[in-house]
Amino acid sequence: MYNLLYEKWLSVLREDGVYDMIGINDALKEATSLQLAANNPMDRFAAFRFLLTVGYWCYINTEQPPIPGQALPHEWQDWLDKNSQYFELFHDKHRFWQDDNRDRLRPVTDLIHEIPTASNFWHLNHVTDYKDGLCPACCAKGLLRLPIFTTAGGRGIGAGINGTPPFYYIWMGKNLAETIELNWKPEENMGTPAWLLPQSQNESTSLPLLEGLTWTPRKVYLYGPENRGDRCALCGAMAEGLVYSINNDQIKVPDNINWKDPHAIYKKNDAQVNAKMVLMSDKESIFVDMDWYEPVVDLLRYKQHRKEVKIFLLGFTSDKAKFVDVWGKTFTIPTKNPDEDVLYQLHNRLWCINAMRKIPLRGNYRNSVGLTQVADIIPHVENTISSRISDLISGERYNLDDADREYRPLLKKVAASMEANIGILAETSRTKIMYRKPWRKKVKAKFVKEENND
Ligand SMILES: [Zn+2]
C-alpha cells in the first residue's frame, strides 16, 4: 500500500530552512510554514498544480475557500481523510490516476524526462530499460507531470492538452498556503479531476476547470512494485519496492476541445507562448539562453496581475518529441505601470544580446562571426540583470544603461585574454571588446501604432 495522503513523497522546504518529504495531508495542514521545493522545476510546478486541484476538489465538497493570511481550511483535511481510498498508488481496485489497460508495455523511465530510455545514454547516468526502476514517490511525481509536460512521442502518439508545453507561470506567495490563495480562481463549472475518475470522452468542446487542469494524454498503469534490492534510478532512495515497467498508452486530445490553461502564458491573440531553443551560435546548442524576456513582457502586457508581484516562470524546451531543457526562474514584478520602452527592449532582448557578441560593426551582422568568449559570459550577466528586473521595469533605481554596465567587468577579462599584447593597437582592440553592450532595437513605427490603437 502507498497512500499519497500520508506517505512522504512531496519535497518541501520548511520555514526554518530544513528540507523534508511529506504527504499531501501534512503539506496542506502545515502550508503556512513551508514551500514546495523540488530540485526539478517541473516537479515544483506539477506538485503545486496538483495540490491546487486537490484544494479545488476539497472546496467544492466543503464550500471552504482559502482565506488570505490564514491556514488552509481544516475541513479540507477531514474531507481528504474520508476519501483516502482515491489516493492509493497500488490498490487492487482503485489506483490513483491509473487505468488498468494492458496494451502497451513500456519501461517506467517513460515517466521521467531527465533519465534516458532506449539507446539515449547520458555520460553520467546510464539507465537500462526494465532493469532500472523508480520508487513510488518518483512514480507519483511522474504521473503529476503527464498533463503538463507530455510531448509528442512519434508514431502518432500525441502531446498533451496544451500541445507543445508552453511557458507556465504561477503567482508566488510567502508560503504554500499563500501561493494557493493567490492562484485561486474557481469557476462555476468545476468538473471532476482525472485522478478521481477516468476523464470523460464527451463531445463537449469546453472543459470544466478541474478536467482541463488534469487532462492526461496517457493511460498509465504501474506494474509492481517489486523488491529486487535496487535503488531508485532517479532519487537514489532505497525503497521497499520499485516499479520497473508500466503500461503507457496514448489518449488522443479531441480536435474540438476548447481549453485555455490558467497557468500558460498567452499573447493578446490567444496564441500560446512557447519556450524556444535560442541558439547563440550556428548549429550548436551550447549557447542556448533562457528566453525569459518575451514571456515576462507578454505576461505584463496581456495579463492582469494581482496584488502580489512575484512570479515563478517555467520554460520547457523540446525539439519535436525530444525533451531538451527545462528551467524555472522567480521574478519580482513591480505593481506600478511598467515602462513601455523598457518592455520593448526586453521583448527583443535576445536579438540585442545575440547582436552584441557579433563583430561590433553594424551592417555586416548576418555574415559576421560571434565571439564565443562573449557568448560564454552572457548567461551569467543576464542572470544578474534578471535579479533586478523589478527595478528595471519600473524604471526606478536601475535602467538599461545600468544593465549594460553589468557586462563591463567580465568583458574586461575577455578583452585581456584575447589581446594580451602591449601597444596602442592591442589597447584599442581591448577597448573595443570591453565596451561592448547589447544593441538596442529601434522601435518600429508599426508596433507603436498598434499599441496606440488599444
Ligand atoms: Zn525515487
Residue 65 has pLDDT above 90, yes or no: yes
In a domain, 310, yes or no: no
214 Cα to the center of ligand 1, angstroms:
23
**CA separation for the pair 340, 346 (Å, rounded):** 10
413 Cα to the center of ligand 1, angstroms:
43
Asked if 295 contacts 313 with a C-beta cutoff of 8 angstroms, the reply is yes
Q: How far, in Å, are 163, 199, 201, 254 from residue 251 at the CA level?
A: 13, 10, 10, 9
- φ/ψ (deg, to 5) at 250: -85, 155
- φ/ψ (deg, to 5) at 11: -85, 130
Residues 214 and 343 in one domain: no
323 Cα to the center of ligand 1, angstroms:
20
Instruction: Determine whether 227 is exposed, middle or buried from the number of CB atoms within 10 Å of its CB (0-12, 13-18, 19+).
Output: exposed
Residues 243 and 373 in one domain: no
103 Cα to the center of ligand 1, angstroms:
26
Where do the H-state alpha helices sit in 219-302? 293-302
Strands 322-332 and 218-222: unpaired
Q: What is the pLDDT of residues 337-375, one digit of tens each?
A: 777 888 888 888 877 887 787 754 555 545 455 677 887
Domain boundary residue, one of 203, 220, 250 = 250
125 Cα to the center of ligand 1, angstroms:
14
pLDDT band for position 282 (cuts 50, 70, 90): very low
pLDDT band for position 446 (cuts 50, 70, 90): very low
Residues 242 and 349 in one domain: no
In a domain, 66, yes or no: yes
**CA separation for the pair 23, 170 (Å, rounded):** 22
Q: How far, in Å, are 169, 182, 335 from residue 309 at the CA level?
A: 12, 10, 7
Number of Cβ atoms within 10 Å of the Cβ of 359: 14
**CA separation for the pair 314, 166 (Å, rounded):** 9
* Count of structural domains within the chain: 2
Find cell 486541484 and name the residue: 53
**CA separation for the pair 454, 452 (Å, rounded):** 5
242 Cα to the center of ligand 1, angstroms:
8
236 Cα to the center of ligand 1, angstroms:
6
Residues 32 and 153 in one domain: yes
How much is the average pLDDT of 318-323?
Answer: 70
Residues 366 and 245 in one domain: no
Mean of pLDDT over the chain: 83
- Which pLDDT belongs to residue 403? 93
**CA separation for the pair 311, 170 (Å, rounded):** 6
138 Cα to the center of ligand 1, angstroms:
4
Q: What is the pLDDT of residues 370-400, one digit of tens each?
A: 677 887 888 889 888 888 888 888 777 899 9
Q: Which residue from 205, 215, 204, 207 is spatially nearest to 191, judged by alpha carbons?
A: 207
- Which pLDDT belongs to residue 452? 41
How much is the average pLDDT of 7-12?
Answer: 96
CB within 8 Å of 54: residues ≥ 6 apart: 24, 28, 80, 193
232 Cα to the center of ligand 1, angstroms:
5
Angle in degrees, CA 68, 24, 45, rounded to 5? 70
In a domain, 392, yes or no: yes
In a domain, 294, yes or no: no
Residue 142 has pLDDT above 60, yes or no: yes
Domain boundary residue, one of 201, 223, 250 = 250
235 Cα to the center of ligand 1, angstroms:
4
198 Cα to the center of ligand 1, angstroms:
26
Query: Domain limits at 131?
Result: 10-250
Q: What is the pLDDT of residues 325-336, one digit of tens each?
A: 788 888 887 766
4 Cα to the center of ligand 1, angstroms:
14
Q: What is the pLDDT of residues 161-187, one digit of tens each?
A: 888 888 899 999 999 999 999 999 999
Asked if 306 contacts 269 with a C-beta cutoff of 8 angstroms, the reply is no
Q: How far, in Å, are 29, 31, 34, 142, 176 from residue 16 at the CA level?
A: 17, 14, 9, 28, 14
- Which pLDDT belongs to residue 327? 84
In a domain, 284, yes or no: no
25 Cα to the center of ligand 1, angstroms:
20
95 Cα to the center of ligand 1, angstroms:
19
Residues 178 and 80 in one domain: yes
In a domain, 18, yes or no: yes
pLDDT band for position 278 (cuts 50, 70, 90): low
Residues 236 and 377 in one domain: no
Residues 226 and 346 in one domain: no
110 Cα to the center of ligand 1, angstroms:
14
Asked if 34 contacts 51 with a C-beta cutoff of 8 angstroms, the reply is no
- Which pLDDT belongs to residue 449? 40
Least confident of 204-218, 246-260, 267-281: 267-281
377 Cα to the center of ligand 1, angstroms:
35
- The Cβ-side half-sphere exposure at 409, using a 13 Å CA radius, reads 6
**CA separation for the pair 177, 32 (Å, rounded):** 5
pLDDT band for position 155 (cuts 50, 70, 90): low
141 Cα to the center of ligand 1, angstroms:
9
233 Cα to the center of ligand 1, angstroms:
7
- Which pLDDT belongs to residue 159? 84
Domain boundary residue, one of 250, 278, 312 = 250
Residues 206 and 347 in one domain: no
In a domain, 257, yes or no: no
In a domain, 278, yes or no: no
Residues 342 and 242 in one domain: no
Q: Which amino acid is residue 363, in one-letter code? A: G
CB within 8 Å of 360: residues ≥ 6 apart: 432, 436
Better-predicted residue by pLDDT, 66 or 197:
66
Residues 220 and 369 in one domain: no
- Which pLDDT belongs to residue 448? 42
**CA separation for the pair 232, 230 (Å, rounded):** 7
48 Cα to the center of ligand 1, angstroms:
19
Q: Radius of gyration of the chain from Cα atoms? A: 24
Residues 189 and 64 in one domain: yes
Number of Cβ atoms within 10 Å of the Cβ of 249: 17
104 Cα to the center of ligand 1, angstroms:
23
- Which pLDDT belongs to residue 132? 92
Residue 265 has pLDDT above 90, yes or no: no
